A and B are shown apart, each in its own frame.
Chain A
């Protein structure tokens, strides 16, 4: 079973920030938080991952709470092309396992 909880759907206005929450209250100390997204009929696309510090790359920012029980993926300026299903996944570090088990994700709709 997936170890994360996400809202099934969210809407966001184009040009605004999209904040996607994820609860992972049972996360272990050796598990990272990963975010992927899947645009319709395509393979998932890696977005970002983190352990306990906030992370930022060219696609998004990841904010992880101090207790690591939840996180938020931030798309700073959402575009129509960001419409997709976003998956939050917790996964051990490589040498302690490594499968990605997908939950139901959040279907983000970016509207004009």
Chain B
């Protein structure tokens, strides 16, 4: 199947700093990518949908100025958590939709710990 890669897989940052997570589709072009957040023992929560070359669409309750999403190419989307706080510590997962649109593939996830 198609491969979606995230980097870094784990990151620790200090409170108040910003951290960037990359999501790449390795063997297909992804016009649409999705970002999720998952807290322990909970399901995945969709944060935003990002389309290549346009602004991301955020889900209700997600702060767009805090979670900056850029989708500058057909194979790369980035999520930047700005002014991170300990409550932003979570598992962040991206996914990408292939050309057919029928299947969405997920990255391995990125663990963010804010100290």
Instruction: Name A residues whose Cβ lies closer than 8 Å to a Cβ of B.
Output: 32, 36, 38, 41-46, 49, 87, 93-95, 98-105
Contacts and interface: CB of A to CB of B under 8 A. Distances in A.
A98 B32 contact: yes
Contacts of A43: 4, 6, 93, 95, 106-109
Interface of B: 1, 4, 6, 32, 34, 36, 43-46, 49, 91, 93, 95, 97, 100-109, 111
A93 B109 contact: no
A98 B43 contact: no
B105 A46 contact: yes
B43 A102 contact: yes
A47 B32 CA distance: 20
A94 B43 contact: no
A98 B36 CA distance: 14
Given A93-B102, A99-B34, A104-B43, A44 B97 contact: no
A94 B102 contact: yes
A51 B102 CA distance: 11
Nearest to B59: A99
